[in-house]
Amino acid sequence: MSRLKNKFALITGGTAGIGLETARQFIEEGATVAVTGRSAEALEAVRQAFGAQVLAIQSDAGDTAGQQALARQIGGKWPRLDVLFINAGDVTHRALADWDEATWDQLMQTNLKGPFFLIQALLPLLANPSSVILCGSVSARIGLAQSSAYAASKAGLLSLARTLSGEFVERGIRVNGLSPGPTETAALDKLGLPAAEQQALRERIRQLVPIGRLGTPWELAKAAVYLASDESTYVVGSELLVDGGVGNL
């Protein structure tokens, strides 16, 4: 398989779940891949799994200064960047009354501010043509209780897919959103809720899906491969929903 042959691809939050499976599929399709993550242990597991096929970089998606350092590291290794998949995210869910400013700031830095400044830092490296994929969420389209801050951050990220596409269109840089629905990943265990509330929210999430099941990282990664490949060169400033019908039915 060679849908991504000769492409250099960076995946943020690539040590687990959708990001890790996307790295696997990008490699299988011929890409040269780098992934980021905060955990040294998780990054080492990626190195053990893929060996020299992947460049594993420790980086905090919410650290604005760190985005410049990441761009310098990528620029020192690669001649260009053909694909950027912004996948790292903070999935904290809370009732409005339980939010505090520090937690809000952390979520927004990871989900919106960090990605914005990473794209800025990588702009000189982005090839013509290239593809930037922003991982949104169907939560930006629906009214799921306790998702207010998370959904707002993802709505902002999806807006960037449109506005930055307008800004970069002359440079051949396509920016699109990829919005998962409820997906069976470890992120569901990181919602930041007490155990009983988390279980209740998980059940409500399951009931949202018209086709009656959660998605899989494999399904989301297939969509990322499409948006990264030359098969999607006419897809610009769009949002691809991979959500089991949650956002439309």
Whether residue 75 lies inside any domain: the answer is: yes
CA–CA distance, 128 with 171 (Å, rounded to integer)? 6
Domain contains 246: no
Per residue in 79-103, pLDDT (tens digit) is: 999 999 999 999 999 999 999 999 9
Question: Is 249 within the bounds of a domain?
Answer: no
Q: State residue 188's pLDDT score.
A: 63
User: Does residue 79 fall inside a structural domain?
Assistant: yes
Please report the pLDDT score of residue 14 as a whole number.
97
Domain that holds residue 128: 8-241
Look at residue 3 and tell me whether its pLDDT is greater than 90. yes
Q: Give the total number of structural domains in the chain.
A: 1
Per the confidence metrics, is the pTM higher than 0.85? yes
Q: Which DSSP symbol is given to 16?
A: S
Q: Is 226 noted as a catalytic residue in this protein?
A: no
Q: Does residue 21 have a pLDDT over 70?
A: yes
* Confidence at residue 165, expressed as pLDDT on a 0 to 100 scale: 97
d(CA 86, CA 40): 19
DSSP 8-state assignment for residue 144: -
Structural domain contains residue 150: yes
Q: Is residue 248 part of a domain?
A: no
**pLDDT number for residue 185:** 78
Averaged pLDDT of the chain: 95
201 or 109, higher pLDDT:
109
What pLDDT was estimated at residue 118? 98
CATH at residue 21: 3.40.50.720
Say which range, 75-89, 116-130, 207-221, has the weakest mean pLDDT.
207-221
Q: Is residue 64 part of a domain?
A: yes
Give the integer Cα–Cα distance in Å for 219 and 43: 23
Could you tell me if residue 2 is inside a domain? no
- Of 8, 117, 150, 168, the active-site residue reads 150
Give the tens place of pLDDT for each residue, 177-193. Answer: 999 999 987 766 666 66
Cis peptide before 217 (omega within 30 of 0): no
